[in-house]
Structure 1
């Protein structure tokens, strides 16, 4: 779920990853930020509950099919 109007807050950064399309993904203890060069920053929550442990993004990975995978304290998405 994308959250509009969210600024890049000072949460703990757990991981930083650049996908094949040049987007920078920043996993934090409170969700995922997508930085698109020239367009800005978007914030994503994995579930509706911002305090959910699944929003503690610990790893970001892109597979050979260009799918993005997130490792969180609750599981793999």
Structure 2
């Protein structure tokens, strides 16, 4: 129960659908330590562009584009 409370407290600034990496270390004395890493930049860019996958041929085919406004919104998060 303590893990759930700590996890929810550390991740409350993220929106519910945001993927994130978590590294959990459990010790023999039933204590734990975990690190929550922020979502990847590629996830934010794909979300801003409205696509699920990037280009199949990077450098040759453009999958989508984002504006400076999108970049500003990503930086604010």
Q: What is the TM-score with the length of structure 2 in the denominator?
A: 0.29
Larger radius of gyration: 2
Q: Which has the higher helix share?
A: 2
Q: What is the TM-score with the length of structure 1 in the denominator?
A: 0.29
Q: Which has the higher strand share?
A: 1
Q: Answer 1 or 2: higher relative contact order, Cα 8 Å, separation at least 6.
A: 1
